[in-house]
Amino acid sequence: MIATGGMGVVWRATDTRLDRKVAVKVLKAEYADDPTFRTRFETEARSAAALHHPGIAGVYDYGAPEGDGPTQPPFLVMELVEGQPLSALLATARDAGRTLDTGVVADLLAQAADALGVAHAAGIVHRDVKPANLLVTPDRKVKITDFGIARAADAVALTRTGSVMGTPQYLSPEQARGNPSTPASDVYSLGVVAYECLTGRRPFEAETPVATALAHLQQPVPPLPDTVPPALAAVVTRALAKDPAERFADGTAFAAALRSPETVAGVAAVAGADESATQVLDPVTQQVGAAPMQRLDAPTPYAGDPATGELAQEEDEEHKRKPWLAVVAAIVAVVVIVAVLALVLGGGGDDDPKVDDTPTRTTSEPTTEPTTEEPTSEAPSETTTAPATVRVDDGRYRCRTDYRDAVADLQDEGLRVSWEQVGEPNDGRCPADSVARFAPNGTLEEGDSVTVFYWGPEQAPTTATATPTTEPTEESSEPTDPSTEEGDE
């Protein structure tokens, strides 16, 4: 046995056909009887096997033992990587009262970000980036493992108490809210890993998973120590932004910043150059974790630009007049988020609640503009919130994604989804059950309807030539049970 974790046990094994050493991950038996998990697991395993990069541990095979009796747990055959997980290296440094050298950290995590960037370009999000899934070889090369398994677990995580989702200590704010994962979610998780490597502790760690996830949602990131070069600190801080739009877009962009942090710090310095602006004081936060640890001496210095100031923010005059509105809104938001996290991290429902902490009631303010009309008093009016928009694009799904996964992704976006097999024959250019197209494409609103058309089984070519016709063909439909799992993209 090599390792054990929340999803199963990893064994060292020998491929007798190809005479090579491999790693076999046998998943927990509790997943064996769940058809939803098995379908998603097979789809994700195929996607992961298509990834080829020096920084990604290869996936060779998947399946389940055959035989009579109860259903056997599924397994995954992977590349056997000689080395240690980054979590073991961090534990060794922590026990010695040291942290990893900043230059080493930047190099290791840039390699990991490169590998994530390749997956992101293929439309795959890891969803569970953490030190245990980053293997470091003796020659200091990084390989990422467990692509796709986290998403397969998402299919059953919300219906089972204690099921595994993203690790709370490395969970992005949007994952904690139950929103779909994106490449920026992996960037955030890798940013948490970077913070831990540089300081010897995680930025947020509380007594319970819910409290830890709440900290990722609400608490500002504790500043990195002065031993971290300011330019590198600016890169890590940006990766840990609460808003995904403020982070690096994907692994490739994060890798470039880790290799040239001075460039990113220089841009931030220009943005914050106005020294006369009002400065916002950092709120007092409780930092849970070990005290700052002594840094291991670096073999080579790591230079960076001076730290940049925080952007100023003027106080809102209306909040001065009516501070109780902000207080009430904050309390309501906290209550709703706690309820969502209790469901997401503890199990308890099939649907992912969406958090909407935008106040929906407002009162009219007196106007200072001159008017010729008689003054009137208006009762408080209730405003309506415009429906959220969803961008639908079948470009990254066509001929690559199983239609059931596409249905799950669109349902996660709040759309009403139906699916049909296309009428035209499959000439073999696209796999059976893969996405052919969406209708419609473009910008939709939550609650709108969209149809996923998928390819049927491959048909043998015929020598007959079809007669052109202008009459529309009737598409066949193969109704199946809708997928109820939560798919995060």
Query: Annotated catalytic sites, by residue?
Result: 128
Element (H, E) at 361: strand 361-362
Residue 302 to residue 394: CA distance in whole angstroms = 44
Element (H, E) at 3: strand 3-4
Residues 6 or more apart in contact with residue 25 via CB below 8 angstroms:
7, 8, 9, 10, 11, 75, 76, 78, 146, 149
Residue 386: exposure state from Cβ atoms within 10 A (0-12, 13-18, ≥19): exposed
Phi-psi region of 67 (alpha: psi -120 to 50; beta: other; left: phi over 0): left
170 token code pair: 């490395």
33 token code pair: 């009887």
CB atoms within 10 A of CB 300: 9
207 token code pair: 């007594």
315 token code pair: 């106080």
Q: Contact, 213 vs 277, CB < 8 A?
A: no
Judging by DSSP bridges, how do beta strands 75-79 and 59-63 pair with one another?
A: antiparallel
Judging by DSSP bridges, how do beta strands 416-421 and 449-454 pair with one another?
A: parallel
223 phi/psi in degrees, rounded to 5:
-65, 145
Residues 6 or more apart in contact with residue 276 via CB below 8 angstroms:
none
Residues 6 or more apart in contact with residue 395 via CB below 8 angstroms:
none
- Cis-peptide, bond into residue 229, ω within 30° of zero: no
Q: Three-class SS of residue 488?
A: coil
Residue 313, CA distances (Å) to 270, 285, 320 in order: 17, 20, 14
Element (H, E) at 231: helix 230-239
Residue 12 to residue 21: CA distance in whole angstroms = 7
Residue 486, CA distances (Å) to 29, 38, 177, 414 in order: 21, 14, 13, 11
Cα radius of gyration rounded to whole Å, the chain: 26
Adjacent-strand bridge partners of 449: 416
86 token code pair: 């980054």
454 token code pair: 């998928």
